[in-house]
Amino acid sequence: MINFKNEFLGTWTLLKKELLRFWRVVFQTVAAPVITAVLYLLIFSHVLADHVKVYDNVEYTAFLIPGLIMMSLLQNSFANSSSSLIQSKVMGNIVFILLTPITYLQFFLAFLIASIVRGIFVGVCIYAFALLYVDLPMLHPWIIFGFAMLGGALLGTFGIITGIWAHRFDQMAVFQNFVIMPLSFLSGVFYSIHSLPPFWQKLSQLNPFFYMIDGFRYGFFGQSDVAPLLSFSIVTFFFIVLASVTLGMLKSGYKLRS
Amino acid sequence: MKKAIIFNKVKKNFGKLEALKGIDLVIEEGEFFALLGPNGAGKSTLINILAGLAKPSSGSIKVMGHDVIQDYQNARRSLGVVPQELVFDPFFNVREMLRFQAGYFGKGRENDDWIDEVIEGLDLQEKANTNMRMLSGGMKRRALIAQALVHKPPVIVLDEPTAGVDVELRKRLWQFIKKLNQKGHTIVLTTHYLEEAETLCSRVAMMDQGKVVALDKTRNLLKRFSAKNLNLRLDLKNKKIPVSVQKFIQSSDHSLITFLLEEIAEVEFIMSELKKSKIKILDMELTNSDLEKVFLKLTGSKR
């Protein structure tokens, strides 16, 4: 017999704990990435505004903002689930969850939603700062919201996988520095991939971050490098694959239950 | 009577190492049960499988009739486990942790009264709003016990609960746990401190190298191995203990010699042999065996 009150309360409690966890260190988890993004914005727009033109009716500073928002959103969604899990594992307090009737699906949902919330929260803060600086259209709010959710979900899921897989903080750093950073910088945050040589253009097209940023940007300007539906499909596909892997790992107790 | 825990042929292999070699054990509801054994005997592995932190290679375990794998949700609801390591979540205070823990079990605000009771019972009132990070080791231990109790589990498992806890606190903890036992909770503990098992537990299982080597009422075990100890302080100046009594020696510390006797008649024999060798006896004491000696007897021979 499934008791829905129990199931709901269990998931909600774990989610609340995960949200409070990053909120307690909000300077590190929100303020720091927002400041980083704002610095990028100030410096790059100052240096490049007169030199780079991507879309005819969009000035470079405006072009840059959705990319920066999405990049920060993705990085922070990843950081939330991955660092929470690795910390709990290293500290040993993950047992407090493992000893309870929380199912693998509840576990997944709580960590996933917390990641999305942190990513989007960071994104909204950057957006608020950017508004002080430049006028930004928002042609398709639902597309913006959809890509933000999907991007947060994809990276939150990836964070769960790495958090479960890694034993130590340095293994975590490998993912952060050698996977997340290159993928987010080589994704067209700062440029349109049409400005790249053919080889790099092809390579960028293999990068899921590119589609998330391109689709997200379409929501603001109604212009993009590839069709937003294609981006949406590709990102959804990646999410389904990673979510299946994560659920499989959690269900089998991989590296959590020996 | 209902069975609190049934271990059925539980085996666990880590690669080639057989950590558990088929554990069969039934713990009745309301028992105060001790699982004894040296490090590496497999106690913690067994507890981990019981709690769902590890999976058995074969065999099964039921808690209050619920299989820990097939019906893990109900099994875990019936079980409160106090882990051996002093783990804590540095982001939260004691009360927050307890509320979260209760929430994972589907218990909301209606459970707050019980949480207060647990906090009080473990003397945590003053620290209830203190961050876990700021607590001393003993306080952390209490918080851990509180966490295991938030969902009022009928079966409570304590894995080395008093390791590194000072004497005063140890006494208080046991008082609290005894009270829980009197209220009907089944208590299972693993411990190194044999005297704890001796004074608290009605039944004892001794484990060694992945097997249960003895299982009985504590008092029967003590009776069964009712060996006596003869402690003598001898004046051994230039004299050697005669060969004939050396086989009785269990330990010696300078002039203080402990003999292990199976029958009281052996006292006479040792005394007369010592007299023959003209060794003067300075002091003497006869003591009963305790669980520790039983334990050494059961496990020592195989090492």
Same-domain status, B139 and B268: no
Same-domain status, B132 and B256: no
The upper half-sphere exposure of residue A12, i.e. CA atoms within 13 Å in the direction of its Cβ, equals 12
User: Between A3, A24, A257, which is nearest B91 by CB?
Assistant: A24
Domain end residue (candidates: B169, B197, B223): B223
Average pLDDT of the residues in A109-136: 95
**What is the reported pLDDT for B3?**
93
Q: Among B281, B280, B206, which residue's Cα sits nearest to residue B35?
A: B206
**What is the reported pLDDT for B226?**
62
Write out the residue range of the structural domain in which residue B170 sits: 3-223
B219 touches chain A (CB under 8 A): no
Domain end residue (candidates: B223, B248, B283): B223
Same-domain status, B95 and B176: yes
pLDDT confidence band for B182 (50 / 70 / 90): very high
pTM of the model: 0.86
Annotate chain A with three-state secondary structure: CCCHHHHHHHHHHHHHHHHHHHHHCHHHHHHHHHHHHHHHHHHHHHHHCCCCCCCCCCCHHHHHHHHHHHHHHHHHHHHHHHHHHHHHHHHCCCHHHHCCCCCHHHHHHHHHHHHHHHHHHHHHHHHHHHHCCCCCCCCCHHHHHHHHHHHHHHHHHHHHHHHHHCCCHHHHHHHHHHHHHHHHHCCCCCCCHHHCCHHHHHHHCCCHHHHHHHHHHHHHHCCCCCCHHHHHHHHHHHHHHHHHHHHHHHHHCCCCCC
CATH number at residue B250: 3.30.70
Q: Which residue has the higher pLDDT, B46 or B275?
A: B46
Same-domain status, B215 and B238: no
Same-domain status, B150 and B261: no
DSSP chain B: --EEEEEEEEEEEETTEEEEEEEEEEEETT-EEEEE--TTSSHHHHHHHHHTSS--SEEEEEETTEETTTTHHHHHHTEEEE-SS----TTSBHHHHHHHHHHHTT--GGGHHHHHHHHHHTT-GGGTTSBGGGS-HHHHHHHHHHHHHTT--SEEEEESTTTT--HHHHHHHHHHHHHHHHTT-EEEEEES-HHHHHHH-SEEEEEETTEEEEEEEHHHHHHHT--EEEEEEEE-TT----HHHHTTEEEEETTEEEEEESSTHHHHHHHHHHHHTTPEEEEEEEEE--HHHHHHHHHHTT-
B284 touches chain A (CB under 8 A): no
Same-domain status, B166 and B295: no
Do B106 and A10 make contact, defined as CB atoms within 8 angstroms? yes
Residues of A with CB under 8 A from a CB of B: 3, 5-7, 9-10, 12-14, 16-17, 20-21, 24-25, 88, 91-93, 95-103, 253, 257-258
Same-domain status, B167 and B241: no
* C-alpha–C-alpha distance, residues A145 and A147, integer Å: 6
Do B89 and A91 make contact, defined as CB atoms within 8 angstroms? yes
Same-domain status, B102 and B162: yes
Whose structure tokens read 């080395």? B160
Number of structural domains in chain B: 2
User: Between A17, A101, A253, which is nearest B76 by CB?
Assistant: A101
**What is the reported pLDDT for B302?**
46
Burial of A141 (0-12, 13-18, 19+ CB in 10 A): exposed
Inter-chain contacts counted by CB atoms under 8 A, chains A and B: 85
Same-domain status, B116 and B163: yes
Same-domain status, B65 and B178: yes
Q: Which residue has the higher pLDDT, A118 or B237?
A: A118
Average pLDDT of the residues in B153-158: 96
Is residue A215 over pLDDT 70?
A: yes
Average pLDDT of the residues in B105-118: 93
Among A193-202, B157-166, B191-200, B209-218, the minimum mean pLDDT is found in B191-200
Tens digit of each residue's pLDDT (9 = 90 or more) over A133-157: 888 889 999 999 999 999 999 999 9
Is residue A107 over pLDDT 90?
A: yes
Q: Where do the structural domains in chain A lie, given as residue ranges?
A: 4-252
Whose structure tokens read 């300075």? B282
* C-alpha–C-alpha distance, residues B40 and A74, integer Å: 45
**What is the reported pLDDT for B41?**
86
Do A100 and B76 make contact, defined as CB atoms within 8 angstroms? yes
Sort out which chain A residues have CB atoms less than 8 A from B92's CB and list them: 17, 20
Do B108 and A103 make contact, defined as CB atoms within 8 angstroms? no
**What is the reported pLDDT for B1?**
64
Same-domain status, B25 and B88: yes
